Amino acid sequence: MRFSLLLLFLSVAVSGWAQSHSAEINTHVWKPFIEAFNGYESDRFLSLHSQDLVRSARDGKQVLTWAQYLGETRQGQARDKERGNKRTLELRFTERLSNGQQAIDVGIYKTVYVLTNGTTEAYYGRFHVVLRKENNRWKILVDTDSSENGTIGERDFLAAQPLE
């Protein structure tokens, strides 16, 4: 009986510990990430990433460094902003693991673009992100995503857990 209670206590404690890391990651990374992305704030967006970043948009079959990603992000955001396009990013999670210094977040993103002609386009993909604490702040170290040949959609997005 004591052993069963100990196991129950440990599983609840570990679960709560992981959830507190997720809440901290949400505050340090995901909430400002979404705000900066939606607001076309390139420098703020990239400040959430480690200088050791490995970025791979797997549909594009490329791997970028932080500096390359910064350049591409600035160009793309300036182009969209100049055209007057609006966008909103939402994230949902299928798996979140952390040891307090490193973390892995897996989930589904949904980006909706509203073009100046009123057309709305939605894009979905699965992301895998590795984070680590740097100077007591969570940073994105590895960021990959893929539409998995266009198979990721609204159903996958709604099945995942929302950002809390």
Query: How high is the mean pLDDT in each 10-residue block of the chain (164 residues)?
Result: 44 48 95 95 94 94 92 89 91 97 98 93 98 98 96 98 92
pLDDT of residue 1: 52
Strand order in the sheet with 86-98: 49-57, 137-146, 120-134, 102-114, 86-98, 161-162
pLDDT of residue 102: 97
pTM (two decimals): 0.85
Helix, strand or coil, per DSSP, at residue 1: coil
1's CB contacts (< 8 A; 6+ apart) are none
Residues in the chain: 164
Q: Spell out where 61-136 has E strands.
A: 86-98, 102-114, 120-134
> CA-CA distance, 80 to 87, in Å (whole number)?
9
Q: Which CATH number fits domain 2-162: 3.40.50.300, 3.40.190.10, 3.10.450.50, 3.30.2420.10?
A: 3.10.450.50
pLDDT of residue 20: 82
